[in-house]
Amino acid sequence: MRTPRFRGILRLGHQPAAQALVVALFAAAALRSQNAGISGFISDPSGLAVPSARVVVQSSQTGARRTVSSSQYGEYSVPALRPGAYDISIEATGFKTFHQNGVILEVDQRASLDFTLIIGSTSETITVEGSAPLLNESDASVSTVIGNRFVENMPLNGRSFSSLIELAPGVVLTPANIYEQGQFSVNGQRPDANYFMVDGVSANLGNAGSGALQYQGGAGQLPATSALGGTSNLVSLDALEEFRIQTSTFAPEFGRTPGAQISVVTKSGANAFHGTAFEYFRNDKLVS
């Protein structure tokens, strides 16, 4: 009697349940694609694995902490981290406590960082300040990261980060015509094959219309731009933390369209009050 009743419930709720599952999977993929992650191997001085080591990853800005333990093979993984600066602490019985400060994680980065512990008491501490840029050893994606400091110090036309996308290899500007609305092409793909995300949410919003617009939509949608043709309506420069543009061999979670994958991350809160102010002046008298 249990089997027919169970099947009946599935038939009645099959379509809504399937739709909810698809929405949840797409949401999870989008959020994961915006996050960073760090993993690695913990060993002793002889190179043997250190199991059950306590790994604490703490944000330098907010103080938020994530704690994991290494496996029996000495491997650890901390996924779903927001891009930013982190301090890492490692504790294991019979070893000195190790602190690595100033580890920088970028948007969409899958970083690898190994640690070698020194035999001693856990009350003894070894602290390392700063670190070299972390390498991505998990995939072969080709990408370019533009950070906030670079954005703030560049005289961008219209206060839009769209002009910085041209700095990535493989990006070519495309003129508007009856078949294309313009914007940019990556590695020969159509402009409507590019995909924008802001904090894990799709920003490829557009409306089909007449003229050039009616030919768009072969792969997706052109992201809506401002009246000046920039991306300031997606995120202002003052709110932009960093963005990454992936041009080829990106991970499966970016498989919605075959063009460039642009992941934008906005600034998050911190433990101290802060703010920004700007003055934007543009006049033809300044042109020689």
Whether residues 67 and 179 fall in one domain: no
Q: Given pLDDT bands bounded at 50, 70 and 90, which one contains residue 43?
A: very high
Q: Which residue has the higher pLDDT, 103 or 270?
A: 103
* Digit-coded pLDDT (tens) for 228-242: 777 888 888 888 999
pLDDT, residue 221, reads: 66
Give the pTM. Answer: 0.73
**Number of domains composing the chain:** 2
Secondary structure (3-state) at 23: helix
Domain carrying residue 51: 35-136
Whether residues 129 and 149 fall in one domain: no
The tokens for 138 are: 């998990």
CATH number of residue 216's parent domain: 2.170.130.10
Rounded (10°) CA dihedral 203, 81, 149, 111? -110
Residue 220 falls inside a structural domain? yes
Q: Given pLDDT bands bounded at 50, 70 and 90, which one contains residue 125?
A: very high
Residue 96 falls inside a structural domain? yes
* 148 secondary structure, DSSP code: H
Residues 15-36 have a mean pLDDT of 52
Q: Considering 136, 154, 185, which residue would you say is the last residue of a domain?
A: 136
Whether residues 102 and 173 fall in one domain: no
Q: Look at residue 135 and tell me whether its pLDDT is greater than 80.
A: no
Whether residues 86 and 66 fall in one domain: yes
DSSP states of 160-228? -GGGGGGGSTTEEE----SS---SEEETT--GGG-EEEETTEE-------SGGGGG--SSS-PPP--TT
* Digit-coded pLDDT (tens) for 82-119: 888 999 999 999 999 999 999 999 998 888 899 999 99
Q: Considering 136, 167, 201, which residue would you say is the last residue of a domain?
A: 136
